Structure 1
Amino acid sequence: MREFFARRVAVLLAASAWLLVMGPAAVFAQSPRGAAAAAAYSGDFSDLADSDVTTLPDVTVRDSRTALDEAAAALAGGQVARGARMGLLGTTDVMDTPFSVTSYTDEAIRNMQAQSMADLLAADPAVRSTTGRGHLSETIRIRGFTVGASDYAFNGMFGVAPSGRVFLEAVERSEVIKGPSAALFGMSPGGSVGGVVNLVPKRAHNEPITRLNIGLRQDSVLSTHADIGRRFGQGGMFGVRVNTLYLDGDTAVNDQSIRRRVGSLGTDFRGEKLSVSLDLLWTHEDVNNATRPFSVAPGLTGVPPAPNGKNAYPGSGEFETENTTALLKVEYEINPALNVYAGYGEHVYKVDGALIYPTMQNVAGDYTWIYRQWKQQNDRDSLEAGLRGTFEHPGIKHRYGFSASRLQNDQGTFVPNRGSGSSNIWNPVPPPKLDRLPDPIRPGSELELTSFALADTMELWEGRSLLTLGVRRQEVDSLSLTSTNPLTRHYNKKATSPVAGLVYKPANWVSLYASYVEGLSTGGSAPNDPVYVNANEQLAPYVSEQYEVGAKFSFGDWIATVAAYELSRPTAGAIFLPGPVPPGEPDRVYGIYGEQRARGAELSVAGQVTESLRLLGGLTLIDAKIQKSATPAVLGNRLAGASRFQGNLGAEWDTPFVPGLSLSARFIYTGSAYADEANRLLIPSWDRIDIGARYTFEDARGTRYTLRLNVDNLTDKQYWTNSYTLSLGQPRTWSLSLEMSL
């Protein structure tokens, strides 16, 4: 498989090299405007005095909403961006979108010293991580619903983002679009409906970038990170951005060590009409004494107090993961009003580890565990092609997009149980360590997602109103396989997902909006059990719905958003047939009889409110319930893991008494939640304080230095994160780094 993937990467490299070298060379050689365009990109117009080019702005100026491969510009203060990528509509200004959107910048990532998405999104009041550091996979919860890392998008495409834990060294923007967005983005591999997280890869800027970072984290984790970007050729038409990271040492968790390696290459070509980009990304992580969340036993009557987060419960586990991604994207401007584009990417995710799966048995903290080897490989390829354009007729401007996409995901696993035992959180006895078995990975499943989508945004009344209408036709084809690879279950269903949104701007600084959008999840099949009258029947994809209204306010250098929403998601279950059933006959039917519904209100603030003060935070109120269920006893209960209230308040202050010194603080509060649908196991509320300091200065040669110190969970609070499992929050952790910008 490694050789197979390597050959495909080689083909991508060769194709992109030809496009980057031969294609642009031919275009520029044949174009009388080639030299003029190159000069325009560089900002040097001195050689155009005698040029016959009189329409230079039409050649070089692009509408940022149709730029396929560029990150949106940052607000003053640098923490968040002004826009985000809205699926097939491209990058759109936040004030023009009928959804709640936050786009975090690379500067915010560096200043927080965030190691992964879970660290970064701790700043978002509508998002909570459901797993702590040192876990195999990080998951987050948006608006009461879980979103896994495998459902993130990379450069606007599903299926090619790193899985498990997403590291941020190669990321320019982390865009969070809250709520389902199947019509604009398509169905994610896992069918998450809480929101869409899109990772925008780094690109070379017009100015050279050379950043070297040396870091030390508690207890003894040393890291080195290099970030280098250059543009070459006439007017900087070629760009190269390289990021490398090496991190190794003992973490703040007792007896836990980590080694991480990251490498990325982002290349791009900016031509007069042709744009090409190629991203290569590789990550490898080894964790010893890995932590795992506790499942809850059926007889558990209460949640024990959270023990010290520095203990590596349940102990002895270890794993290594590897992500390899290649993504090639091409865009061509047929004319100023029409662009066509295509993208093809591949991603391989590998896991090999010996993990301990604990189950909490009682309030005294006794738990049982199963020792299970976990080997998994996901092979994905993703293809998308489409067009975006503009046209107008009297009084109405149209910005439309059409796309066709295909995502293939093949997954294989090898998960044997290798022992069991018991322990206690207050007197833990680590399980024995076992060597990994060399057995091969067994075929598991194949998933193919194919879709066609069309959307149009209409600007009315001189841009004061924007009406967006769209629809996506999605086909879901799934196979479940066994180790001998015969077909054991085949699933094929189709669904249509619409989107509608309206933005009204009564003034330049305010946008009022309303939207309706749907999400899709694989419906699956009824269990293969003779007690069901419809055993093995294929269910239609789950169609989730979200209604949202809100207002956005842009006060110069900062933006505030107020939103209210209702998000509902169907669930499957079984109901018994009415009346007497003859002995030996099926007595129940499996179907979509349940529904989970979350209603909420959100307030978020981001940006520079004064010359020296920046804010990032907000409040979230959620009423997440089981609206319908095949189990009457749980009707009206709160969703597992969903708290009623979440709040964040983060501030950065540039001190007047020491030039170059900035101080930061963040308060995080999360209300109580239940760990089970029966609402018997209450996870207490928790709060946390994070602080930081940053000092920037330059030497006589003009080299810029930034010294950063961050302390997360300053008071070393002990808490369970809000989830349907019991996962310990991170202990007090400090990070120190020195960054040099040459």
Structure 2
Amino acid sequence: MKTRLGLFSDLCDVRGLLARFFVAPASALALLLAGLVAASFPAQAQSRAAARAYSGDFSDLADSDFTTLPEMTVSDSRTALDEAAAALGGGQVARGARMGLLGTTDVMDTPFSVTSYTDEAIRDMQAQSMADLLAADPSVRATGGRAWMSESMSIRGFSVGAADTAFNGMFGVAPAGRVFLESVERSEVIKGPSAALFGMSPGGSIGGVVNLVPKRAHNEPITRLNIGLRQDSVRSTHADIGRRFGPGGAFGLRTNAVYLAGDTAMYDQSMHRRAGAIGADFRGQKLSVSLDLLWSHEDVNNATRPFNVGSALKVIPPAPSGRNAYPGSGEFETENGSGLLKAEYEINSDLSVYAGYGQHVYTTDGALIYPTMETTDGDYTWVYRQWKQRDDRESMEAGLRGAFEHPGVKHRYGFSVSFLHRDSGTFVPNRGSGRSNIWNPVAPPKLPRLPNRITPGSELELTSFALADQVEVFNGQLLLTLGVRRQEVDSLSLTSTNPLTRHYNKKATSPVFGLVYKPVHWASLYVSYVEGLSTGGTAPNDPVYINANEQLAPYVSEQYEAGAKFSLGGNWMATVAAYELTRPTAGAQFLPGPIPPGEPDRIYGIYGDQRARGIEINVSGQVVEGLRLLGGVALAEPKIHKSPNPDVVGKRLTGTAKVNANFGADWDVPFITGLALSARFIYTDSAYADEANQVVLPSWRRVDAGARYRFQDSRGIAYTLRLNIDNLSDARYWNQSARFSLAQPRAWALSLETSF
């Protein structure tokens, strides 16, 4: 592996990434090719391009009975490589989702549980991040602290960090820390591991894949301006502008700009956020090109952080007011910069090739207060650390998609090769420690930040080759999906001098199998098997281990799933899914004796596993005219299935509840034109905060409410006034995970959006 120490000195800040990206040879070549193709269009091709100019939401398909999206080939009705799928009736969720190297696929044709949230749902919820949006999903729970720099969530009981989010189908490009949604057309959630279709994520998450589909210019001009006010005094503005231009509207440009600043609903907490995105695309008769540039900067003062569980803690204290920003004095600023260039070219009507190249830089600097709850009376200790980090990523992908058929059988196949390189460096000095109490808090001191001393810490390279085929027989009644990915994981620890821990190179093969049967056009029955990959752990540096410091092979997780999906009239969908997800875990096992005194007596390896079994029921869409539902129930039993420690076998995984329920309704008031009311109920069962299942995190419930009013003035300009209130009763509770954090207090958001 080649060490790229120069990235830390050559790239002075995130803005440098954008300039570097623009002058990259690959970018210049692709844009030049796009211009040459556009210039050579005959008049007839221009008129055909105008006729099929991008609509952005497949609204002409939303009410149809067909359950198959347009083919991934190039014709007068072809869809783009990164085009958003159609929305169901009501506009909250979409009809299809990106399924890795197979491209955009109808949800009814996928052998997995999938939900694709639309930009309309994001705007109506006034969601600021993925945690806000996915509060609608019973299989997902936010696990990070409120207003903290690193957003994380649990999907099917397993953690998925923001760094493992895909952007436009590729890992390593999406913003790290916290994902902002103003530039997103779709937020697609594919539950369970999906290494064969998407490849291994940088963090090795196996609970699910979240893919963000960027906004594109629609056929009609878009101009949306939004001004907002949030409790306590957070003011925001958001501009969203899209236009198509050039011969036949072949070129498109969509820009989004966000500014937000003020005091939040928590005492003495303030935030300042700036974000921008440019989405440009070109659509020719043979060639499609897209370019996305994203940038964000966020500052938060008096930030919060989850509590660790102290060794002597037996009972979690009652949750205090959510307006308290425990442990106090935390602060951070983060900056993200990303660029992604993608191109697709049609060789013939049944075969197209594509390629993508992206870069991402993430930096953060702040004070981290690590608290540990020690007693039931609310006493906690804390450690003050400064946290500086820089993360540089480079991602590439190339492949082909095609289709062919012989009597009675249709094939839709894909092949891809992908590469991801990640450089990480940190500077985390200890700055002090202390004690406090949640009922009588004493904030840690605010210390000046030390000079920037970030040094490279590690490198990671992920290289893979994948092949998948979806076979359709009996006129689409039966679909068989088969795929396999060969993944190589190559990592280098730049701080280690031990040969056993400095370099790591392992390979693994991940298959996928899925079968969908459609007895009628509005119902699908499916079964699937899929695997996930995570980087292997490292044996402790202890002489009692015969393999001390050895790095283990990648973990291979497995998921079996069976379910049924129903879609009536193209307006709503219901999914019932049962699954078993198993993840290996590392631990120590004693060697068979006798062992001479002073010799290693144990070995570290993959000798245990965690297994989650569950049933999910989800409903989304417009069930009757004017009434939209979004939510469901998730029943789960995540346990330690095997372990070298017999005392924990059969114990439930920390921070996981047996029952999660989300019920959301959105209703158009029939006697007041333009008025809609919404309500959402969220319930989370009790969980354990420790592996021994002795410290209980109580169950919690909350109610959210909202209203919006749409109207037009005499000039035909449309307005939407929105009011959302989260945690209407100001319930006090602890969010659940391996660590626990104080929940958000009651908070309201008011905004006025104009569209013309």
In the superposition, the TM-score normalised over structure 1's length comes to: 0.96
Is 1:675 equivalent to 2:657 in the alignment?
no
Partner of 2:66: none
Runs of 5+ consecutive residues of structure 1 not aligned to the other structure? 45-56
Seen in structure 2, the aligned counterparts of structure 1 residues 706 and 577 have a Cα distance that, compared at 3 Å, is same
Q: Output the CA distance in 2 between the equivalents of 1:483 and 1:136.
A: 28
What is the deviation of 1:355? 1.2
Q: Could you tell which deviates more after superposition, 660-669 or 488-497?
A: 488-497
Partner of 1:8: 20
Q: Contact 2:140 / 2:156 at 8 angstroms: preserved in 1?
A: yes
Q: Output the CA distance in 1 between the equivalents of 2:325 and 2:293.
A: 34
In the superposition, the TM-score normalised over structure 2's length comes to: 0.94
Seen in structure 2, the aligned counterparts of structure 1 residues 144 and 569 have a Cα distance that, compared at 3 Å, is same
DSSP-derived class of the 1:158 partner: coil
What is the deviation of 1:594? 1.1
Match of 1:480 among 493, 496, 514: 493
What is the deviation of 1:289? 0.2
Q: Output the CA distance in 1 between the equivalents of 2:578 and 2:664.
A: 22
Partner of 2:232: 219
Partner of 1:35: 46
Which structure 1 residue ranges, 4+ long, deviate > 6 Å from structure 2?
Answer: 483-487
What is the deviation of 1:298? 1.5
Percent identity of paired positions between Structure 1 and Structure 2:
73
Partner of 2:327: 314
Partner of 1:234: 247
- Partner deviation per Cα, 1:168-214 (whole Å, 9 max, x = no partner): 01110000000000000000000000000000011000010000000
Is 1:290 equivalent to 2:299 in the alignment?
no
Seen in structure 2, the aligned counterparts of structure 1 residues 555 and 525 have a Cα distance that, compared at 3 Å, is same
Mapping for residues 686-705 of structure 1, pairs under 5 Å: 686-705=700-719
Amino acid at match of 2:629: L
What is the deviation of 1:98? 0.2
- Partner deviation per Cα, 1:237-295 (whole Å, 9 max, x = no partner): 10000000000000001100000000100000011010000000001000000000001
What is the deviation of 1:17? 5.9
Q: Output the CA distance in 2 between the equivalents of 1:726 and 1:155.
A: 32
Q: Contact 1:152 / 1:158 at 8 angstroms: preserved in 2?
A: yes
Is 1:340 equivalent to 2:353 in the alignment?
yes
What is the deviation of 1:235? 1.5
Q: Contact 1:88 / 1:402 at 8 angstroms: preserved in 2?
A: yes
Q: Could you tell which deviates more after superposition, 484-493 or 632-641?
A: 484-493
What is the deviation of 1:35? 2.8
Match of 1:168 among 159, 181, 194: 181
Match of 1:198 among 208, 211, 234: 211
Partner of 2:76: 61
Q: Output the CA distance in 1 between the equivalents of 2:168 and 2:631.
A: 26
DSSP-derived class of the 2:419 partner: strand
DSSP-derived class of the 1:584 partner: coil
Amino acid at match of 2:239: A
- Partner deviation per Cα, 1:90-142 (whole Å, 9 max, x = no partner): 00000000000000000000000000000000000111111242112111101
Mapping for residues 29-428 of structure 1, pairs under 5 Å: 29=40, 33-42=44-53, 60-62=75-77, 64=79, 67-428=80-441
Q: Contact 2:500 / 2:550 at 8 angstroms: preserved in 1?
A: no
DSSP-derived class of the 2:36 partner: helix
Q: Contact 1:667 / 1:688 at 8 angstroms: preserved in 2?
A: yes
Partner of 1:552: 565
Seen in structure 2, the aligned counterparts of structure 1 residues 380 and 386 have a Cα distance that, compared at 3 Å, is same
What is the deviation of 1:63? 5.1
Seen in structure 2, the aligned counterparts of structure 1 residues 310 and 255 have a Cα distance that, compared at 3 Å, is same
Partner of 2:3: none
What is the deviation of 1:23? 3.2
Q: Output the CA distance in 2 between the equivalents of 1:303 and 1:410.
A: 39
Q: Contact 2:361 / 2:392 at 8 angstroms: preserved in 1?
A: yes
Partner of 1:54: none
Q: Output the CA distance in 1 between the equivalents of 2:501 and 2:696.
A: 40
Partner of 2:67: none
Match of 1:639 among 635, 653, 656: 653
What is the deviation of 1:736? 0.2
Q: Output the CA distance in 1 between the equivalents of 2:189 and 2:472.
A: 24
What is the deviation of 1:9? 1.5
Q: Output the CA distance in 1 between the equivalents of 2:302 and 2:33.
A: 51
Partner of 1:561: 575
Q: Could you tell which deviates more after superposition, 651-660 or 572-581?
A: 572-581
Seen in structure 2, the aligned counterparts of structure 1 residues 483 and 252 have a Cα distance that, compared at 3 Å, is farther
Q: Output the CA distance in 2 between the equivalents of 1:541 and 1:404.
A: 19
Q: Output the CA distance in 1 between the equivalents of 2:54 and 2:732.
A: 55
**May I ask how many residue pairs the two structures share in their alignment?**
727
Amino acid at match of 2:253: V
Q: Contact 1:294 / 1:725 at 8 angstroms: preserved in 2?
A: yes
What is the deviation of 1:484? 9.4
Amino acid at match of 2:414: G
Q: Contact 1:37 / 1:60 at 8 angstroms: preserved in 2?
A: no
Q: Output the CA distance in 1 between the equivalents of 2:639 and 2:662.
A: 23
What is the deviation of 1:577? 2.2
Q: Contact 1:131 / 1:728 at 8 angstroms: preserved in 2?
A: no
Amino acid at match of 1:229: G
Amino acid at match of 2:76: V
- Partner deviation per Cα, 1:509-532 (whole Å, 9 max, x = no partner): 100000000000001321232221
Q: Could you tell which deviates more after superposition, 520-529 or 431-440?
A: 520-529
What is the deviation of 1:482? 1.6
Q: Output the CA distance in 2 between the equivalents of 1:273 and 1:249.
A: 48
DSSP-derived class of the 1:37 partner: helix
Q: Contact 1:479 / 1:487 at 8 angstroms: preserved in 2?
A: no
Partner of 2:610: 596
Partner of 2:457: 444
What is the deviation of 1:540? 1.1
Seen in structure 2, the aligned counterparts of structure 1 residues 592 and 68 have a Cα distance that, compared at 3 Å, is same
Partner of 1:463: 476
Q: Output the CA distance in 1 between the equivalents of 2:441 and 2:503.
A: 44
Amino acid at match of 1:734: W
DSSP-derived class of the 2:652 partner: coil
Q: Contact 2:735 / 2:743 at 8 angstroms: preserved in 1?
A: yes
DSSP-derived class of the 1:166 partner: coil
DSSP-derived class of the 2:402 partner: strand
Q: Output the CA distance in 1 between the equivalents of 2:528 and 2:74.
A: 35
Q: Contact 1:481 / 1:488 at 8 angstroms: preserved in 2?
A: no
Seen in structure 2, the aligned counterparts of structure 1 residues 292 and 525 have a Cα distance that, compared at 3 Å, is same
Q: Output the CA distance in 1 between the equivalents of 2:554 and 2:675.
A: 53
Q: Contact 1:450 / 1:476 at 8 angstroms: preserved in 2?
A: yes
Q: Could you tell which deviates more after superposition, 203-212 or 298-307?
A: 298-307
Q: Output the CA distance in 2 between the equivalents of 1:615 and 1:579.
A: 62
What is the deviation of 1:538? 2.6
Is 1:653 equivalent to 2:667 in the alignment?
yes
What is the deviation of 1:388? 0.2
Is 1:733 equivalent to 2:744 in the alignment?
no
Q: Contact 2:18 / 2:339 at 8 angstroms: preserved in 1?
A: no
